[in-house]
Amino acid sequence: MPDILKITQEFVFNLFKEKLPSTFLYHNYNHTECVCKAVDEIIENTHLNDEDRLVLKLAALLHDTGYTKTIQGHEDESVKIATDFLKKQGINDKIIHAVNLCILATKLDNKPNTTIEKIIRDADASHFGKDNFNDSSEFLRKELEILGIKNYSTDEWLDENIQFAKKHQFYSDYALKNWQHQKEINLSKLINKKEKQTLKSKTEELKTKLKNENPDRGIQTFFRVALKNHIKLSDIADTKANILLSVNAIIISLVLSNLLSKLDSPSNNYLIIPTLIFTLSSVISMVLSIIATRPNITSGEFTKEDVEQKRVNLTFFGNFHKMELKDYQWAITELLKDKAYLYDSMTKDLYFLGKVLDRKYRILRITYNIFMTGMIISVIAFVVAFKMRKG
């Protein structure tokens, strides 16, 4: 590497280190290095004289130094910095002028004219023809967001990249031959991604539209959840009743096997009343538990007139368990034809399930109260009886 290139590299590195804010995630020294590598790649495969090679390498190093001064018009600032620096290094005006033209050629609205201007322009946008295009693009998006220039959404940035990639073109023979194909692949990926997002967006929009236009799904969800909750509560009630039945059955078994045999003796007469209270509370609890879980069966028949007048609830088995299959199938067909009748039947089913639950839980509450009260009174009675016997 000629001394001037090494000196320039150190100058640019230190300049960026000291004066370029860390918010520049894309236009930083890493980007400068990428442009230098792209320039070297093209130079190695292009017939150029030594002076043009030097101009290109200097321009690649200095082309973004203007970002240390400003964002808008940074190319012009880069020219000023490059001119001042290269003059101090004793570089002749011809080379400095060529370097400045190359720097200005990186402006998006400028069209490169000479071979070296085309090369530096292609090198500056080489990421379009590389497989790491998406990573570079995302760094640029974040930089624009952090600097407060513009905050792009994912969809907006995708559109921006597609539009820019379509407008962009490579100018040098090497870039057209070696990078154009990858650029087309990258563009194709962007377009495919956009099409997928558009399809997904339309699908979600259609789902939302259908959901808003057709409330049936919400209604079905309501009935499904409500019926599930009713059945769950019914199971809980039955479980509670079974627990009471089991506990009181054990209690009565113990009373029969242990206490009753002792009541025959006159010396144990004091145990009669406590035992009766104890046994009676258990028996009443068992009876109420059975009543709470005892099923009620209705007639199990309906007439065609009942269906036509919508007086029968076909969702409850108690209304059709004695009917012939063909009659029940006809009734269900009539039910499904009429959405209002269907929802009305399901509403009735919910309502009467609620009534059954209300009855179960009221009886269970009474049962638990009797069981609890009976246990307390029984214990007190036993204690009093023992004390009176001793007294």
Report the pLDDT averaged over residues 189-205: 86
389 against 27, higher pLDDT: 27
Q: pLDDT-based confidence at 15, cuts 50/70/90? A: very high
**At residue 367, does pLDDT exceed 70?**
yes
Q: pLDDT-based confidence at 311, cuts 50/70/90? A: low
Lowest mean pLDDT among 49-53, 174-178, 258-262, 318-322: 318-322
Return the pLDDT at 92: 94
**At residue 300, does pLDDT exceed 60?**
no
191 against 279, higher pLDDT: 191
Return the pLDDT at 180: 94
Return the pLDDT at 262: 66
**At residue 150, does pLDDT exceed 70?**
yes
Residues of the chain above pLDDT 70, percent: 85
Is-contact 133 158, C-beta < 8 A?
no
Mean pLDDT value across the chain: 84
pLDDT digits (tens, 9 = 90+) for 62-104: 999 999 999 999 999 999 999 999 999 999 999 999 999 999 9
Return the pLDDT at 1: 46
**At residue 294, does pLDDT exceed 90?**
no
Report the pLDDT averaged over residues 241-257: 80
Contacts of 145 (CB under 8 A, 6+ apart): 151, 152
pLDDT digits (tens, 9 = 90+) for 160-181: 999 999 999 999 999 999 999 9
Lowest mean pLDDT among 140-149, 187-196, 229-238: 229-238
Q: Three-class SS string for the chain?
A: CCHHHHHHHHHHHHHHHHHCCCCCCCCCHHHHHHHHHHHHHHHCCCCCCHHHHHHHHHHHHHCCHHHHCCCCCHHHHHHHHHHHHHHHCCCCHHHHHHHHHHHHCCCCCCCCCCHHHHHHHHHHCHHHHCCCHHHHHHHHHHHHHHCCCCCCCHHHHHHHHHHHHHHCCCCCHHHHHHCHHHHHHHHHHHHHHHHHHHHHHHHHHHHHHHHHHCCHHHHHHHHHHHHHHHHHHHHHHHHHHHHHHHHHHHHHHHHHHHHHHHCCCHHHHHHHHHHHHHHHHHHHHHHHHHHHHCCCCCCCCCCHHHHHCCCCCCCCHHHCCCCCHHHHHHHHHHHHHCHHHHHHHHHHHHHHHHHHHHHHHHHHHHHHHHHHHHHHHHHHHHHHHHHHHHC
**At residue 18, does pLDDT exceed 70?**
yes
The CA radius of gyration of the chain, in Å to the nearest whole number, is 45
381 against 138, higher pLDDT: 138
Contacts of 116 (CB under 8 A, 6+ apart): 48, 52, 55, 56, 59, 98, 102
Query: Domain ranges in the chain?
Result: 3-209, 216-390
Report the pLDDT averaged over residues 198-207: 80
Return the pLDDT at 292: 77
Q: pLDDT-based confidence at 319, cuts 50/70/90? A: low
CATH node for 3-209: 1.10.3210.10
Lowest mean pLDDT among 129-143, 154-168, 278-292: 278-292
pTM: 0.54
